[in-house]
Amino acid sequence: MIINCEKNFDIKRLTSFKIGGLINEVYFPENINEFEQILNENPNIKVFGNLSNTLVSDSGYDGKIVLTTKMNSVQIDDNKIIADCGVKGPKLAQIACENNLSGLEFMIGFPGSIGGEVYMNASANSQAISDKLSFAICYSPIEKKILKLSNEEMNFSYRKSRCQKDNLIVLQAEFILDKKDKTLIKQQMDENLKFRKEHQPSLSLPNCGSIFKNPQGESAGRLLDSIGAKNMSIGGVKIWKNHANFIVNNNSGSSLDVLTLMFEMFTKVKENYNIELEPEIIFLGGKNQRENELCKILYKK
């Protein structure tokens, strides 16, 4: 089986931050069989979807990664939709709408792909992945086999699933949706997009979504706002003017700019509230000494 693999791949154009250097090897599987072969042959390889919540170092990454962007098959059977992990959330929401199927309207504003959204039980606008998911096809690196897990077996909770605990990789998901007039579905999606536009930066401003997770019983955005984060900037990146928990790449910012700004945000909240914010975005790197020093503090590793 010949699988598409690119060496010294320039990742920058694919990342939501529009930041990143050369990756040693990038695999692009097109189906579950190819994906399984890659994972079996490359234990501990890192898997990414749409790179919508990932900061990649400008110094690049020496290892191998998998990108699921070519796993984009969608099957419809009456009120059921089966989607591969690489299908983008907005695309699936639109396909559901065109087929008069309701339950995925919240995905219209998500830049990510289905694999990541199932992994973290993505939610917004009073809807969540766990509401409509029937089953997920996952790969277990520990057992080296494919598992078919029901909604109940996925152990969903707020922004969590069994995938985090058992290190599972989502390959495919089935959703059972509700029949509804497409006009009403589109109306809801338009409202969701309007809400997102008011509360999150447009993707025309390169960003990775929320930078830090909300501490239990608190809001990361509120904490950051209270310490004046909206006035903070470093190099080519700055805090978004409308929400203190978003960093935007304003002027050809670097990965070190982002990590340095994250460190300043983290430090000021810790000094003022004795709360250590936990990053929500993923970092891929390891070749830059200063970035490694910052990551040891921010990511506790």
Residues designated catalytic: 159, 210, 280
The CA radius of gyration of the chain, in Å to the nearest whole number, is 19
If you ran DSSP here, which 8-state letter would residue 91 be given?
H
- Around 157, how many Cα atoms within 13 Å sit in the side-chain half-sphere? 4
Calculate the dihedral angle through the C-alpha atoms of 91, 95, 97, 102, rounding to the nearest 10 degrees. Answer: -90
CA gap 224, 244 in Å, rounded: 6
Cβ within 8 Å of residue 300, ≥6 positions away:
none
CA gap 156, 130 in Å, rounded: 6
* Helix/strand/coil for 208: strand
**For residue 10, how far is the Cα from the chain centroid?**
20
Say if CB 290 and CB 284 are below 8 A apart: no
Specify the amino acid at residue 214: N
CA gap 143, 151 in Å, rounded: 20
CA distances from 207 to 23, 140, 210 (A): 20, 31, 9
Two tokens, residue 43 = 């234990």
Using the structure block, give the residue that is written with the tokens 């694919």.
Answer: 14
Say if CB 94 and CB 104 are below 8 A apart: no
Say if CB 132 and CB 174 are below 8 A apart: no
